[in-house]
Amino acid sequence: MARLKPELLAPAGDAECFAAALQFGADAVYVGAKEYGMRAAAKNFDFPALREAVRLAHAQGVRVYLTANILPRSAEIAAYPQFLEQIRSCGIDAVIAADLGMITMTRALAPELEIHASTQTGVVNYQTASALYEMGVKRVVLARELSLSEIAEIRAKSPENLEIEAFVHGAMCMSVSGRCLLSEYLTGRDANRGACAQSCRWKYALMEEKRPGQYFPVDEDSDGSYILNAKDLCLLPYLKELHEAGVDSVKIEGRAKAAYYVAGVTNAYRMALDSLFDTPPRPVPDWVMQELNNVSHRPYTVGFAFGQRKDLIWQEENGYIRDYEVVGIVQKQENGRLYVSQRNRFFAGDAVEILMPQQKPLALTVTDLQNGDGEPIASANHAVMDCSFLCEAEVPAGAFVRKRIAEQ
């Protein structure tokens, strides 16, 4: 039986992202250490940083899950028991694993830790879910290619105490469940051990051997798409349906994303969940969905939630839609002034917005802009410089100041 309200599980690739996930409403945060995780490009956490992150999270009643979900080669197995002992000492709540050998080792060596079967495991049916439960798995992270009706069947036919987690937002691998050899083939970087080069996002063309140097576009016809650049998943409008299908935890993808992304997306899903599962339920505010458009993203799709789809691929280009940039992070507020650490250049007179937890972003105009010494300035144009401007509304430290990017 699903919990009364789904857990909101947010990503964190470093300490700044972790702080954003905590502040903007995550119930749980998943992170990676320096080894065994599927996001080698993220900064990730060494053991002292992981221990501190867990301490901060537990103080707020937030759980921490650690990814150990690569598909390891034999040479990587011998070091795993020592790694496991280190992460146990940090106080994590669960290990996310994909490899059956690592799952059985974790169960034997750290029986107090929950084990969550990663989406890399490729769980698409109740028999596999039940078999993993018999192995000691507490939760399965379902493959992304499942429909809501298939999720409901897994819930109905698997053990009641087995928890179900599903991705609801973020980048989708063209291989969907993630087992892909394209990156390794083209670059030597193994996606199944966390080093994916995202070769599927590259711009491809055809070249015929007798016409070298002539590139022909890869196109789409009535039978579907022939390129690989997947859209981003977004299931915020269907959180109620996911819950009714039996999902216990809704997961945001993004351990390689910046803190602003983590804050904006986590905030939107927090507001939606609290509205939908309040007593009585309330409509989700109109601005919440717009917030998902205000972070860097590819065009959105509902993926396979309602069956097989043909709109998973973005044809136009392989970049991101990006309408806003972060210009500062609030450090404190005193005497009607916001003290900000600059991230991108902005000017006195600029229209900005302030992203704060669990409320609609605040729009204001930058007035009386000063540098860290209290001197008037026309612009904040030095990286990470201290500056301040007037603001009467109450704003917490850690809020993000953003500005719409001017159209070119």
Tokens of 7: 């857990």
> Is residue 211 situated within a structural domain?
no
The set of residues, in sequence order, having a beta carbon less than 8 Å from that of 2 and lying 6+ positions away, is 155, 164, 243, 246, 247, 248
pLDDT value at residue 225: 45
- Do residues 293 and 363 both lie within one domain? no
pLDDT value at residue 404: 95
Model pTM score: 0.89
Alpha-helical segments (H) within 135-204: 148-157, 182-187
- Do residues 156 and 270 both lie within one domain? yes
> Is residue 367 situated within a structural domain?
yes
- Do residues 17 and 149 both lie within one domain? yes
**DSSP for 85-125?**
HHHHHTT-SEEEE--HHHHHHHHHH-TTSEEEE-GGG---S
Burial (CB count within 10 angstroms: exposed 0-12, middle 13-18, buried 19+), residue 191: buried
- Do residues 268 and 348 both lie within one domain? no
Whichever domain contains 333, its CATH number is: 2.40.30.10
> Is residue 212 situated within a structural domain?
no
> Is residue 223 situated within a structural domain?
no
**DSSP for 250-296?**
EEE--TTS-HHHHHHHHHHHHHHHHHHTSSS--PPPHHHHHHHHSSS
- Do residues 245 and 389 both lie within one domain? no
- Do residues 242 and 144 both lie within one domain? yes
- Do residues 280 and 350 both lie within one domain? no
- Do residues 267 and 360 both lie within one domain? no
pLDDT value at residue 198: 76
> Is residue 193 situated within a structural domain?
no
* 400 backbone φψ class: left, alpha, beta (φ>0; ψ -120 to 50): beta
Domain that holds residue 346: 324-404
- Do residues 348 and 399 both lie within one domain? yes
> Is residue 160 situated within a structural domain?
yes
pLDDT value at residue 178: 65
pLDDT means over runs of 10, the chain (408 residues):
85 97 98 79 85 98 95 91 95 96 96 95 96 98 94 98 97 72 72 72 75 72 58 95 97 95 98 96 95 93 84 67 95 97 97 97 98 97 96 97 83
Whichever domain contains 260, its CATH number is: 3.20.20.380
Alpha-helical segments (H) within 95-215: 100-109, 126-134, 148-157, 182-187
End-to-end CA distance of the chain: 51
Q: What CA–CA distance (Å, rounded) separates 334 from 353?
A: 19
> Is residue 314 situated within a structural domain?
no
- Do residues 23 and 103 both lie within one domain? yes
Backbone φ, ψ for residue 289 (5° rounding): -65, -35
Q: Which of these, 179, 141, 170, lies nearest to 300 by C-alpha position?
A: 170
- Do residues 246 and 334 both lie within one domain? no
How many domains is the chain built from? Answer: 2
- Do residues 241 and 171 both lie within one domain? yes
> Is residue 279 situated within a structural domain?
yes
